[in-house]
Amino acid sequence: IYEEKEKDIAAARKVYQRVCREGEYTFRDTDELAQLWAGWVEFELRHESWDTALSVARQSVSNPEPEKRNRVTRGLSRSLRLWGLLLDLEESLGTVQTAKDAYNRVIETKVATPSHILNYASFLAEHKYFEESFNAYERGVELFPFPHPGAKLIWKTYLDSFLTRYEGTKIPRTRELFDRCIEVWVV
């Protein structure tokens, strides 16, 4: 209402802040609150407040203050919706380091999906961090071992990327990678 009818952006921000940060409203589940945080980020993007949007996205997945923790707010740090939004914004608006930090956090908290691993490795390769890209694949194959459906895709992309990068050099390392892949696939 404030945004569309009243054209009062400041009042709309205050409503988002009261509901998301200050916990003025009690939500039934985490997804409802995550949807509101995502709405706030999208609101900021619509109004070209890039830094604010990135800041709100970062806050959405951070752990709330102890006095504001409850079942619903604790779950925000595991919301795929919010992590996906944050990772996209970090890649486009943040620095390479902040994007790397966000991807590392999503992997450490075990919220990452196979597509997050692939996106992270691709992001690193695009920025010429090839060895870090291979480390991201390594973390992915540890996080998603066979028979997980994403394991095959991660291994395939990892091997393709390695072969493309080194084009026939590093034969012992290439052999070791293929041996590991076959070993974990068969077991």
pLDDT of residue 21: 82
Distance CA 40, CA 15 (A): 10
Amino acid at position 58, single letter = R
Distance CA 149, CA 139 (A): 16
What pTM did the predictor assign? 0.88
At 3, list the tokens: 């945004």
Instruction: List Cβ neighbours of 27 (8 Å cut-off, separation of 6 or more).
Output: 33, 36, 72
Burial class (CB in 10 A: 0-12, 13-18, 19+), 167: exposed
Instruction: List Cβ neighbours of 33 (8 Å cut-off, separation of 6 or more).
Output: 20, 27, 72, 73, 76
pLDDT of residue 69: 64
> Could you state, in chain order, the average pLDDT of each consecutive group of 10 residues for the chain (187 residues)?
70 87 82 93 94 95 68 83 97 97 96 97 97 97 92 95 91 92 80
